[in-house]
Amino acid sequence: MAHLKTKATHNKPRERKNWKLQLVTMLYDRGYGEQAILELNNFLDWMMNLPEDLEREFQTDLKAFEEAREMKYVTTIERMAEQRGAKSKEVEIALNMLRKNLDLETIAEITGLTVIQLQEMQVQLN
C-alpha cells in the first residue's frame, strides 16, 4: 500500500503527507506492536519522503495522534534508563537494609531480590 500511495502522490506532497499519516495510524488501529510500528514507520519515512516543512507537520500530527491514543512510545534508551533506575532503587533499599543488619532472607522478601543477588551485592561492596 505504501508503494502504491507513493506512486499515486508523485508531485503531490501534501496528499502524500496525509497518506503517510493514515498508513501509520492504520498500524495502531490494526494492533501492531511497538517494535513493528517503529520499523514500518522507518520504512515509510524512506519510501514516502516529504519536504522538510511537511515532515515536521507529519511528526506533529503523529505526536498528537499518539497522545490522543495515550500510546506514546518510550525509546529503547529511555526504557533501559528506567530499568537501571528501578534496579538502582532496589539496590539502594537493599543496601540500607544491610546497613541495619537485617538477615538476607528478610531483605529478599522485602525487595523481591533473591538471596544470591543480595550476596553478590555484598561482594561488590567489599
pLDDT tens for 71-126 read 555 666 666 666 666 666 666 666 666 666 677 787 777 777 788 887 777 776 65
Please name the amino acid found at residue 31.
G
- For the entire predicted model, the pTM comes to 0.54
User: Cell numbers of 52, please?
Assistant: 522538510
Neighbours of 51 (CB within 10 A): 12
Domains in the chain: how many in total?
2
Residues sharing a CB contact under 8 Å with residue 114, sequence separation 6 or more, in sequence order: 108
Write out the residue range of the structural domain in which residue 114 sits.
Answer: 78-125
Nearest to 48 by CA among 76, 13, 98: 13
Average of per-residue pLDDT across 46-73: 85
Q: Are 33 and 90 part of one and the same domain?
A: no
% helix, strand, coil for the chain, step of 5:
80, 0, 20
Q: Are residues 24 and 52 located together in one domain of the fold?
A: yes
Please say which residue of 42, 69, 96 terminates a domain. Answer: 69
| Lowest-confidence segment of 32-46, 58-72, 73-87 by average pLDDT | 73-87
